[in-house]
Amino acid sequence: MAMMLKISKVIENQIDEFLDLVSESGLIFKKAIDNYLKDNTEEFEARLERVIDYERKADELRLVVEKQLYMRTLIPENRGDVLAILENTDNVIDSMKHTLQQFSIERPDIPSKFDVLFNELTDSSIQSVEWLVRSVRAFFKDIKSVNDHIHKVGFYEKETDDIAVKLKTQIFADELDLSSKIHLRFFASSIESISDCAESVTDRLAIYTIKRMI
């Protein structure tokens, strides 16, 4: 029989709110990259500011939840697992924020011929974030479905890797100068790393899920 997580409705709602911020940040990130590729700087910067704001709110909310977990609920072992899930999920939104900030600072000159693959790379990487959010929600509400969601994270992480390889191959086969190629590779890797971060969280989540199912 699965071990129950005894958390209050208030904490459950706060965790939901935290996950909403992660999910919405992913959607904003995707639109921000599309704005950048279309040279819509004003919209891009506005979306960057929204992700920064969401990241700050997620940090604050995570700290509130952590404090309440220490004060009110859960045996220490379960509390540690929940805190680790929240802290590692928070790293994903940090990763999205840092990637957009690098775009804003370094302004990579991306030839339009690479727009489609950059958008596909972004979409796949953010899909992994969305399924991560669903995995974490299931951990608290429907433990039996967690592994189904984790499987999707793995699928999109692999898809993201494949698209990244294709994009980088095309970049280095192009007639761009070497410094431009290296610069574009950095940004492709930065977007790709978001899915790696999501998969890293689900690797831990899978272990915590097994512990609860024993």
Q: What average pLDDT does range 66-79 have in this prediction? A: 72
Regarding predicted confidence, which is higher, 2 or 154?
A: 154
Per-residue pLDDT for 77 more than 90?
no
Over residues 97-110, the mean pLDDT reads: 98
How far CA 18 is from CA of 39, 42, 90, 178, 214, in Å, comes to 31, 27, 9, 42, 28
pLDDT band at 86 (very low <50, low <70, confident <90, very high): very high
- pTM score of the predicted model: 0.92
Given a cut of 90, whether residue 80 has pLDDT beyond it is no
Helix 115-141 to helix 146-173 angle (10° resolution) is 160
DSSP letter, residue 158: H
Return the DSSP state at 134: H
SS3 of 4, please? coil
Return the pLDDT at 173. 97
One-letter amino acid at 66 equals E
Q: How far is CA 83 from CA 69, 78, 89, 193, 212, in A?
A: 8, 9, 10, 23, 15
Per-residue model confidence (pLDDT) at position 1: 39
How high is the pLDDT of residue 2?
Answer: 43
Write the DSSP assignment of 165-194 as a string of letters.
HHHHHHHHHSSS-HHHHHHHHHHHHHHHHH
Residue 5's pLDDT band (cuts 50, 70, 90): low
**Residue 127 or 5, more confident:** 127
- Residue with the two structure tokens 């992994």: 128
Q: What is the pLDDT of residues 7-49, one digit of tens each?
A: 677 888 899 999 999 999 999 999 999 999 999 999 999 999 9
Chain mean pLDDT for the chain:
92
pLDDT of 162-210, one tens digit each?
Answer: 999 999 999 999 999 999 999 999 999 999 999 999 999 999 999 989 8
